[in-house]
Structure 1
Amino acid sequence: MSVRIIQPSHNCKGEILVPGDKSISHRAVMLGSVAKGTTRISHFLSGADCLSTISCFRKLGVAIEAKKDQVLVYGKGLHGLRAPKEILDTGNSGTTTRLISGILAGQSFPCVLSGDDSLNSRPMGRIMTPLNQMGAHITSIGGNGCAPLRIEPGPLQGIHYQSPVASAQVKSAVLLAGLYASGETSVTEPSLSRNHTELMLKSFGASVSSCVHPDGSATACVLPCEELYARDIRVPGDISSAAYFIAAGLLVPDSEILVKHVGLNPTRAGFLKVCQDMGADLTLLNQTTQGGEMTADILVCGSSLHGTVIEGSLIPTLIDEIPILAVLAAFADGKTIIRDAAELKVKETNRIDTVTENLAAMGADITPTDDGMIIRGGRPLHGTDIHSYLDHRIAMAFAIAALTADGSSSILDSQCVDVSYPGFFSELERLCER
């Protein structure tokens, strides 16, 4: 077990380029692998989860070259993957497991997916149900709806799937399988989840459409495809990683941080909206759009924050940022209510429980609910031992909380940040004075 000691900071100043977006990095490797030609990916996130995706596609016969400044994927075409000689190990990556299942459902060979203990305890029924409706044969080897999964493909037919949850992973698995199906495949979800798959499919040449309905639900459709075609991709900075440094800039007095080239896809940028609703001093600079993905530099200054309500259609746009939003709420004046976020229970940890446990240990006034939490902010927090439970977002969120706590804090199992941000602690040390 590694332990990282975090001391309070006097200010945080400087510029930072956060790692590439995890969601986009995964998808770039996947679509590049089943496209014709060479896909060149720059600013790729070399975290453990994305490396699991590379490993799986290498076992499926795809040559992938990871250089210092870019990743080259020598695509095999939609029907060029080959049967793996061993189990496909997806590590701790739910994104890898769920999305690759959609692609594997359309292949001509069987295979088995499995990951680490944490991954193999997460629900996979949410993708098994629609993919099996399309004609695949996906079974949970343990009979518990979790990985390991055995995927025995069959002829796929397009369906219209009414998803009970707004989940980009569910939607993406179905759309990727739809590339191999006969007829149109569509997914309707209660509200619009992140749309990186739709944007990237379109840029690789697939026929994709989407719309948001008057009631707030959203539908994405894909037609079967003969081929996808490689393209160059520059991955924007991950807003989920940027969120920790934005929070540091807001919470630590006399701070000013410029976070560069951050992805601002509207289906992911709910974190910024909530920060602004709480009174954050944020300025967007150098806004651009590339491959359908918006980016900007974000200038952050120390701010006095107040409580807010986070709910409804906002939740899918910031689900991964809720731990750091809870930290912001603990330092804000007044009450913050987070609801409609039951999805937190099926992340790397039950994040309702792990956020509540650690904030309470620091002295915060927090009450868990069935679908979120209530935080009464403004109480001084003190340093303590933070139990990450090997959840990278818990470790990083509470490292930021420790910057403005009274006394030092210890982040236990701090190595888990390597899943999404291998250089997180060194960057935090560089920017924040102790």
Structure 2
Amino acid sequence: MHGFAYRHGSLHCEDVDLQALAEEHGTPLYVYSGNTILDHYRRLDKALGSIDHEVAYAVKANSNLSVLKLLAAEHAGFDIVSGGELFRVIKAGGDPAKCTFAGVGKTRPEIEYALKQGIYSFNVESEEELRYLNEVAADLGVIAPAAVRVNPNVDAKTHKYISTGKSGNKFGVDFDYIADVYARAARELAHVKLRGLQMHIGSQLTSVKPFVEAVEKVAPLATHLKNTYGIEFWSIGGGIGIVYHSSLESGSPSWWAAKPEGERPLTIEEYGAELLPRLQHLGLKILLEPGRYIVGNAGVLLTRCLFEKHGTTKTFKVVDAGMNDLIRPALYEGHHEIAPVKEPGEARRKVDVVGPICESGDFFCQDRELPDFQPGEVVALMSAGAYGFVMASNYNSRPLPAEILVDGSTAKVVRKRQTLDDLIAGEV
């Protein structure tokens, strides 16, 4: 489900005309569908309803306070990777006791802050970090709840930058060593409580097979740790992929449909049907850490075409958004469909859509057949709700765009556009 469709010749987010938003608030502009976010969270939560579980939203995917507030109101948990993300969750009304803190390089101030706020667990990435956590907890005179992240050496077959579950990745403890780490921790670390086990094999998985392989491999370990050390939860990570490649059909009420030769989304029904039988007998609380699945298709980046430039071999559509606003195409070779806000006719052209940044990598597509939108028209970069604004920067001294959250026919600014004065705030 997503909230974007053509109505009366214009692309809408729920009941709000995106053209009107672009005219009122300018471009580039991020727009999110609140009901899409809630629908994705609720479907995933329902799919696991037969077992003790918690959906812990991965804040790094989209950390806007209003997005977090939507999920906090649903009593979601939160997967955080910094002290700043914990601060955001708390400011948005989230419960720190429902937060798990991941990441390979937590600092002492971050650990102390999380301990004082009473988080549910630290997801520890190495034995060295576990010993450091014990040291900080001892200095504070408290017990630190912890789960160690196991690296199951399962190939998720995703982009190398978002693969996390193989032995060559920086994340987690090798599967062959993990039992010994728990044994030493139980014996030697008086200020650590071994509360759970964690794993995460990668992001943007569109097949259930890697999930099944990882769960089957790690389940006996989880049972052993429960019987030996009394752990209470197993976090099986996130990684459920979304559809980025799709078809755009003029005259269709909704442009969103997977291409026959393109991606096939991993449905929540398939995910639940395959994993539930492998998890329900364990007697452990199961944590999920979805991010992209919940917010990815819930957001778009609106940008206006500035010029059309003709070269000897290419035609360039120059837009006012750049790689500083949405870096996924440059960083991950990430694909985003590009939909004119004005419902297009039949005319198509093979073009490069490029931004104003002084980098050759500043493009959103190359040699792609698109509806022939013209200078002055607004287009939507689809599926930009995850790893869009959160990875934006001020490169080339460009102010960050505004963010809008839509609920039905209501659109609210949930982050103001940066001004030029904001660019230099804090500098001397």
Give the TM-score range, shorter chain. Answer: under 0.3
What's the TM-score once normalised by structure 1's chain length? 0.25
TM-score normalised to the size of structure 2? 0.25
Larger Rg: 2
